[in-house]
Amino acid sequence: MAFTIIIILTWLIGTIFYFTPKTLSFLQNSIVFMLLAIISRNNMTIVTMELESIQTSQQPIIYMFFLIQREVIIPILTLIFINIYYKIETISKKIILFLIIYLGMFSLNYLSITLDVVTYLKWNYFYDLLHDTIYLLVGLWLSKIILLIEKKESQHNGSGHLL
């Protein structure tokens, strides 16, 4: 059941991302996605294996839920946030966007607990809030750095876009 749910959610979130108007180019989105996937992988490995704050399921098919959430869904949700964030002009709409994306991340975390994909040992929902907030801010920061690099490169070369 958990594997079916995560596949459907991955397809749904991927479709939403596909139809979301992009402010970043394909290459910029790809770089941010890869960096976010690396950060997510390392962060969750530290939380689960080193700190032993979260215990993951020992069943391989259920563990796939955790892997897909960590490697695909969270970075794509962050890319949706980033691309829409740059299109929005008012702070209040940006806060609403953050809350909507955070609600999606929280729902995935709640679903993980409900389906026994993970068990919180030394972890709680407040840590989830901090973790997801920092993750969204890091994604935003990475995209700003990539845009800044592109701007500096185009000023230096006097030519078109690098990324």
Q: How many angstroms separate the CA atoms of 79 and 143, rounded?
A: 9
Let me know if residue 160 belongs to a domain: no
Q: How many angstroms separate the CA atoms of 46 and 43, rounded?
A: 5
Task: Give the count of domains, the chain.
Answer: 1
pLDDT at 48: 87
The rounded percent of the chain whose pLDDT value lies above 90 is 69
> CA of 42: how far to CAs of 36, 97, 145, 157, in Å?
10, 26, 21, 36
Across the chain, mean pLDDT equals: 90
Q: pTM of the entire structure?
A: 0.89
Q: Does the structure show a pLDDT above 60 at 69?
A: yes
pLDDT tens across 39-62, in order? Answer: 999 988 898 888 888 999 899 888
Let me know if residue 152 belongs to a domain: no
The DSSP 8-state label assigned to residue 53 in this structure reads -
pLDDT at 109: 92
Let me know if residue 151 belongs to a domain: no
φ, ψ dihedrals at 56, nearest 5°: -95, 160
CA 141-145-150 angle, to 5 degrees, is 150
pLDDT at 162: 52
Identify the domain containing residue 81 by its residue range: 25-144
pLDDT tens across 3-45, in order? Answer: 899 999 999 999 999 999 999 999 999 999 999 999 999 988 8
The helix-helix angle for 91-114 and 2-19 (nearest 10°) equals 160
Region 111-115 average pLDDT: 92
Let me know if residue 15 belongs to a domain: no
Q: Does the structure show a pLDDT above 60 at 163?
A: no
